[in-house]
Every structure is written in C-alpha cells, then in structure tokens.
C-alpha cells in the first residue's frame, strides 16, 4: 500500500459510513499502517462539525494519524499550483493539500476528481468512488 495523505473526503466518507473507504481506514484502526493528513484537512473538518459527538470521532481517528503542518515550502508550492490550476477549479485549500502530498512524497487519496485530476502530472493521486 502506498504512503497516503488523506484528503478531507476520505475522513468525511468514513464518518458517513461509506464502505468504499474501509480498506484505507481499517489498517489505521488495526495499527498496521501510518497515514498522514494536512492541517488544512483538519481545518476543513472542523468547519463542518455539527456536534461534540462528531468532534470526538474525528479527534479519535486523527490521533492515530500523522499531522503535517503548512511549512514555507508547502506554502510556496501551493501558491505555484494554485496559480497554475485555479482556472481548472483548484481551490487554495486543495492546493495546500496537494502541495503537502508533493513535498512529503505521499500519494493523495481522494474522491475529489474535479479538483485533483488536473494535478496528476504534479502529484501522486489515487482516486476512489
């Protein structure tokens, strides 16, 4: 299995009970793999939390994963990606997540083909549906 950086969609789909992400999340719960996430994903999750129950569930899973902060290098790579791909629908938060995958040499796991498909030549991506 590649070293994954989870996009926000993976975590949201997990908490919505979508079976398609189970093969990616279960190894984390079993302690057999390490997965990373960007602090931008954390911000996106917290922007959508509607209850303390959701917060506790997200915190529990995130505590089993590795958090990657935005660094100067990530910020600059994100700016370059955003400048190049914004006209194809890339948002600045998604550019920051993509830049994190690129700088840390992780495979971005996402369902978001609309924003990340154009970046296939820039970063390693794996899409699920």
Q: What is the CATH number of the domain that holds 94?
A: 3.40.50.1010
Number of Cα atoms under 13 Å in the Cβ half of residue 86: 9
Contact 106, 124 (CB under 8 A): yes
22-30 and 8-15 helices, crossing angle to 10°: 90
Q: How many domains does one find in the chain?
A: 1
> What are the tens digits of pLDDT across the range 12-51?
999 999 999 999 999 999 999 999 999 999 999 999 999 9
> What are the tens digits of pLDDT across the range 65-102?
999 999 999 999 999 999 999 999 999 999 999 999 99
- Quote the domain boundaries for residue 23: 4-127
Contact 120, 103 (CB under 8 A): no
Please report, for the chain, how many H helices and E strands are present, in that order: 7, 5
């Amino acid at each position: 299995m590649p070293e994954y950086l989870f996009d926000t969609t993976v975590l949201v789909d997990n908490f919505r009970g979508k079976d398609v992400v189970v093969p990616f999340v279960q190894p984390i719960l079993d302690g057999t793999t390490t997965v990373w996430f960007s602090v931008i994903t954390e911000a996106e999750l917290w922007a959508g939390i509607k209850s303390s129950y959701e917060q506790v569930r997200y915190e529990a899973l995130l505590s089993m994963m590795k958090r990657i902060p935005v660094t100067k290098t990530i910020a600059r790579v994100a700016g370059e990606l955003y400048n190049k791909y914004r006209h194809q629908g890339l948002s600045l938060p998604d550019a920051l997540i993509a830049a994190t995958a690129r700088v840390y040499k992780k495979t971005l796991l996402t369902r978001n083909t609309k924003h990340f498909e154009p970046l296939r030549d820039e970063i390693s991506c794996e899409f699920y549906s």
